[in-house]
């Protein structure tokens, strides 16, 4: 299968290794990965902050960057290692297109004459979150056997809200993690509680966001795990930033860090992901 990678802006600029891990997993399965060069961002930060006018060109750019490859058969599906970005592509892009049309902000038609709403829907329908693609499309049920995933250690998992409630990912990410060889996955108390990130909520309502973060950090540390996995780097950056600020350490005295699902699945016996990163943050690169 030919798969277009939507890296998402934050992974592209801040967490390239998450996209690299995604490429590794897919290539290991024998699929061909394409990176549409025009891509930049899904626009959810603008949208969720109410800046619809500013979001519109970002959304148009995304649709333009991806639709051609679907049409020409260059790839069959698109995947992003982010629940919230996929949720935005699937649910919000058509909404902002409709908004722009109602307001007469811009008559946005494609070369084909289709409305932006229709074009956005077409792209959204074929865009998957990573665990969704692996489970529903590629039929992965055993990460160890099918992907060679191997990672010694203990981790816990935080289901980010948009993946959980907008995409209804359900058990998919956890089922994948549970089949990683040598990995002990411990349940996170109050897992479905929001971590408090919420995009610009984290700066506009910094106090409430910080209070939510403090509770999430406590829950994670109560598990004794050395890392918290997740499917959304924005939440992971927020949680990781809190863990780092508070200097939280796990049972073995190392800093508790955050890690993306893709990184865990890409980890193999030959080249295992190491939890001795430079920081308790999932950011940066080695």
**8 A C-beta contact, residue 200 and residue 192:** no
CB of 187 to another protein, least distance (A): 17
**Can you tell me which of 3, 4, 25, 55 binds another protein, judged by CB under 8 A?**
55
CB of 224 to another protein, least distance (A): 22
Q: In a 10 Å sphere around its CB, with 0-12 CB exposed, 13-18 middle and 19+ buried, how is residue 203 labelled?
A: exposed
Residues 75-94 that bind another protein (CB under 8 A): 92
Residues 217-246 that bind another protein (CB under 8 A): 237-238, 240-242, 244-245
Residue 182 sits in the site that holds another protein (CB under 8 A): no
Residue 47 sits in the site that holds another protein (CB under 8 A): yes
| Of 139 and 210, CB closest to another protein | 210
How far is residue 241 from each of residues 20, 183, 238, measured CA to CA in Å?
22, 24, 5
How far is residue 27 from each of residues 21, 81, 127, 261, measured CA to CA in Å?
10, 15, 18, 16
| Of 141 and 245, CB closest to another protein | 245
**Can you tell me which of 69, 124, 196, 231 binds another protein, judged by CB under 8 A?**
196
**Can you tell me which of 58, 63, 227, 265 binds another protein, judged by CB under 8 A?**
58
- For CA atoms 152, 156, 158, 159, give the dihedral sign: positive
User: Terminus-to-terminus CA distance in the chain, angstroms?
Assistant: 30
Residues 103-162 that bind another protein (CB under 8 A): 103-105, 161-162
- d(Cα 114, Cα 136) in Å, to the nearest integer? 29
Residue 38 sits in the site that holds another protein (CB under 8 A): yes
Residue 249 sits in the site that holds another protein (CB under 8 A): no
- 131-139, 150-158, 173-181, 195-203 -> range binding another protein (CB under 8 A): 195-203
Residues 59-78 that bind another protein (CB under 8 A): 60-61, 65
């Amino acid at each position: 299968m030919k798969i277009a990678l939507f890296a998402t802006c934050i992974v592209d600029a801040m967490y390239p290794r998450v996209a690299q891990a995604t490429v590794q997993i897919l290539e290991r399965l024998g699929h061909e990965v394409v990176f549409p060069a025009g891509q930049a961002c899904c626009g959810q930060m603008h949208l969720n902050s109410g800046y619809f006018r500013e979001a519109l060109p970002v959304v148009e750019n995304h649709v333009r960057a991806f639709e051609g490859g679907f049409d020409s058969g260059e790839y069959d599906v698109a995947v992003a290692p982010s629940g919230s970005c996929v949720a935005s592509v699937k649910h919000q892009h058509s909404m902002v297109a409709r908004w722009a049309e109602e307001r007469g902000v811009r008559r946005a038609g494609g070369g084909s004459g289709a409305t932006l709403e229709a074009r956005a829907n077409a792209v959204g329908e074929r865009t998957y979150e990573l665990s969704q693609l692996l489970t529903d499309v590629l039929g992965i049920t055993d990460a160890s056997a099918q992907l060679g995933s191997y990672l010694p250690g203990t981790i816990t998992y935080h289901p980010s809200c948009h993946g959980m409630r907008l995409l209804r990912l359900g058990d998919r990410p956890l089922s994948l993690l549970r089949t990683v060889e040598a990995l002990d996955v411990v349940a996170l108390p109050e897992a479905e509680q929001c971590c408090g990130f919420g995009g610009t909520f984290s700066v506009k309502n910094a106090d409430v966001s910080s209070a939510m973060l403090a509770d999430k950090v406590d829950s994670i540390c109560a598990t004794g795990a050395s890392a918290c996995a997740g499917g959304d780097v924005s939440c992971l950056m927020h949680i990781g930033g809190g863990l780092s600020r508070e200097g939280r350490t796990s049972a073995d005295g190392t800093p508790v860090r955050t890690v993306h699902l893709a990184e865990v699945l890409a980890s193999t016996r030959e080249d295992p992901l190491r939890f001795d990163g430079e920081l308790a943050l999932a950011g940066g690169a080695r």
